[in-house]
Amino acid sequence: MKGNLLGVTSLDEAIRFARAGFAANILLMTGFWRGEEEEIIRLGLTPTVWECEQIDLLEHAASRMGVAKHPST
């Protein structure tokens, strides 16, 4: 299955598509909860951010994981 962008409504849904090898960027449309940021980065998902604190969570998780930037940028 190929496409440019797939929108999903939860991290669990995104994980299923990522594990299935879906060949598109996966947009987590409903945002994410504290504690999900490392999995979002590990899978290279595009999260929706609704609070500034979420940007900090993503940046700190990326730093801990040695990821310099989101793969789509």
Tens digits of per-residue pLDDT, 4-55? 889 999 999 999 999 998 878 999 999 899 999 999 999 999 999 999 999 9
pLDDT at position 69 is 65
Q: How far apart are CA 20 and CA 33, in angstroms?
A: 23
Instruction: Say what the pTM is.
Output: 0.82
Residues 8 and 29: beta-carbon distance below 8 Å:
yes
Closest by Cα among 26, 28, 29 to 17: 26
Tokens of 39: 């999995």
